[in-house]
A and B are shown apart, each in its own frame.
Chain A
Amino acid sequence: MKQTTLDVCKRGERGRVTEVMGEGALQSRLAVLGLRAGEEVTLLRVSPLKRTYLVETRESVFALGREAASCVRVRL
């Protein structure tokens, strides 16, 4: 079980969110989409340039830029 941020994960890895850092507005948006502490998250795809991540949560499927992805700590 290792702790890491979402932007260094590999395609297909699944884990649980431990913490979402960042500004309040970003935290709200990510929380609404399902990235909250304790929720499950799966990394579906990574874009070719490794700048965009396709993420699946209980709530929805969405794309995340690298800056936002680096704010999400997960435990795999």
Chain B
Amino acid sequence: MRAGAAVSGAALQTSDAKGRGRGGRQLKEAAEELLLLGNPNAGKSTLFNALTGGHARVGNWHGVTVTALEGEAVLGGRQVKVCDLPGVYAEEGLGMEERTACELIMGRKKGIICLVSECAALYRSLRLLSSLAEGRRAVLVLTKKRQFLRRGGRLEEDALERLLGIPVVSAEGLSPRALRERMAEALGRAAVPRSEAFGGEGGLPGVYAPARAGLTKLDAFLLHPAAALAVFLLLLLAAFWLTFAPFGPGGLLKGLIEGLFAGKLYALAQAIPSPVLRSFVGEGLILSVGGVLCFLPQIGMLFLFLTLLEESGLLSRLAFFTDGTLSRAGLSGRAVFSLLMGFGCTAAAILSTRGLDDRAMQRRVILCLPYLSCSAKLPVYLTLASSFFPDPFLAALLLYVLGAGLSFAVLLFLGGERGAPFVLEFAPLQVPALRSTLKALCFQLKQFIMKLGTVILAFFIASWLLSSFDFSFRFCAVEESMLAHICGGLEWLFAPVGMKDWRIAYAALSGLVAKENVAGALELFFPAFPYGARSAFALAVFVLASSPCVSAVAAAAREVGLRRALLYAAMQTGSALFLCYLVYFLTGGLHYALPLFVIAFLLLFFGRNFRAGIHRRRGNVAQKLHRRA
């Protein structure tokens, strides 16, 4: 995750922009500042990335950017501070991030406004400019021109420039370098727009003709509920097959990497004469790092699917169809974005919940997100799966479905209704651009490898050290090591599920730092998992339901406060342990499970009433909305 520095009012993040490389010198106040203003999904973040070389998240749906992002660009030899903002529709923002953006624009009086507008939405962008940035210097950047022209729109840039009195740049089709040059030139001519330009309903005759509105043929087909369901299930199945099937690309590549590490490299390591070094390189490094690295192709496939979904615009259609079901669970269609991102990275998904314009709903989403297994849990599942299900495909499917079910159950238990109204613009359907998809994918893979090379590696080395030496620093067996003495007491944690072993508890709890650690720790201590199917499954359920990793808890702390975030983490881990025991008993024989079943049922039943009781009567939501402003 990008490091952040919260500033009072608007939360700003510094991006890992290339421009920062020169000695990391601080930007002086006198330098120019460019504020990217525009409707959601207009292309601001894409422009930001092109200008600063940063990695702001982009996606073809409304609400990707939820916090302001700052970066530096070198335009025409000058240092310019560029600020990417969440999308704004109107001055009176409906969502939390919209209000943040408006505050920032009003606050930074010296910045030049860069209005980023889709060609099709020029009218409302100009109106936005006039309401938010009266009397300030501005530049106009037009995006998605090809699509606009294809649908019958017409636009004369030079005439528009003359009419508005500000420079106009059409960004489509320009390479980042060309774009920087055009922007540098435009910035030099930035001026206060003419007030006549924001004229009345007459539009901009002779200069701009709007495109044909309405649904494209593809949309008309997709928006049939049966077709939509079929398409989505097909995509899901394809994603699962590509990722998990033993003979699909994910499985095959995993086998290759595994063979390389556990086979060849490990064999090479056996040649090392010193037993300490042999153990360090063999078990400490090769097996554990290799044990996590081999999942890189599969994690890559998962992220590819998510990126394609984001880039294509299908998410808006998905939100349209799921809004009904989600509102039964107290959410709205908007939550579908965060929920899907939860399958990639829980921390990123939690950060994206800022786009939800309802604090109570945001809290419920944050609470149920960890149950949607993030990509880091994949290695653990697949490592354990071979013990309880011969087919990794089915095992993964089972665990993901279980996670989704748990998530839904938690939402139903929490109750609550969605407070804010659901309004979501449909992003145009497009074939995902190869370049941006690959860029996003490479970024995710790079993050994974960096995480592996730093946090996870450090953890493995520490684990190996503590588990290979005793307190007098003698090289010894695991049972006598420092770690055994420190963590010996943990052996009772998983004793009820047939694993009275501190190493299992240690591995499971290491997931609180990073979920990949669980898989690595298991590889370190157990070359072959010694416990049976029931225990393996119970452990998998524990990992599924326990608190997310530290970065996700930190992200949650940013959104809901540290105390609450820690409370959630504790509750989730506690309930995960309970669930782990429950599952073990259920798979063993129902007579053991009966008392636990009763307890679980009672909790659920009373939980509902308890919440209904303390829940303030919200009244009819529609009635609330009809309150006159």
Contact = CB atoms under 8 A, between A and B. Distances in A.
A60 B316 CA distance: 14
B89 A63 contact: no
A60 B425 contact: yes
Interface in A40-69: 44-45, 47-52, 54, 56-68
B215 A28 contact: no
Contacts, number: 127
B323 A21 contact: no
Given A52-B323, A56-B213, A65-B323, A28 B90 contact: yes
A29 B94 contact: yes
B178 interface: no
B180 to A, nearest CB: 30
Nearest to A33: B425
Interface string B599-613: 000000000000000
A37 interface: no
A61 B622 CA distance: 23
B123 A59 contact: yes
A30 B423 contact: yes
Nearest to B627: A23
A70 B421 CA distance: 11
A9 interface: no
B523 to A, nearest CB: 46
Contacts of A71: 421, 622, 625-626
A34 B621 CA distance: 23
Given A33-B423, A60-B121, A62-B425, A44 B324 contact: no
B78 to A, nearest CB: 34
Contacts of B127: 32
Given A25-B93, A44-B215, A45-B223, A52 B625 contact: no
Contacts of B321: 47-48, 52
Interface in B614-629: 621-622, 625-629
Interface stretch (B261-269, B325-333, B380-388, B576-584): B325-333
Given A48-B225, A50-B324, A67-B622, A26 B94 contact: yes
A47 B92 CA distance: 29
Contact of A52 (B214, B320, B626): B320
Contacts of B316: 63
Given A21-B626, A49-B324, A59-B121, A68 B225 contact: no
Interface residues of B, number: 41
Interface in A12-26: 21-26
B421 A65 contact: yes
B215 A61 contact: yes
Given A47-B225, A65-B323, A65-B327, A22 B625 contact: yes
B168 to A, nearest CB: 21
A65 B124 contact: no
A64 B422 contact: yes
B629 A63 contact: no
B545 interface: no
Interface in B173-227: 210, 213-215, 223, 225
A65 B629 CA distance: 20
B324 A51 contact: yes
B625 A61 contact: no
B93 to A, nearest CB: 7
B459 interface: no
A54 B219 CA distance: 12
Contact of A28 (B89, B213, B425): B89
A54 B323 contact: no
B414 to A, nearest CB: 20
Contact of A54 (B90, B223, B625, B628): B223
Given A26-B94, A28-B94, A71-B626, A62 B213 contact: no
Interface string B85-113: 00001111110000000000000000000
Nearest to B229: A48
Given A21-B628, A61-B426, A51 B94 contact: no
Nearest to A48: B225
B426 A29 contact: no
B215 A49 contact: no
A58 B122 CA distance: 12
Nearest to B428: A61
12 contacts: A25-B93, A33-B425, A44-B215, A47-B320, A50-B324, A52-B323, A52-B333, A59-B124, A61-B426, A65-B323, A70-B622, A71-B622
5 nearest interchain CB pairs? Answer: A65-B422, A49-B324, A24-B629, A51-B324, A68-B421
Interface of A: 21-33, 44-45, 47-52, 54, 56-68, 70-71
Given A25-B94, A26-B423, A68-B423, 9 more contacts: A21-B628, A23-B625, A26-B625, A29-B423, A47-B324, A61-B215, A63-B422, A67-B421, A68-B625
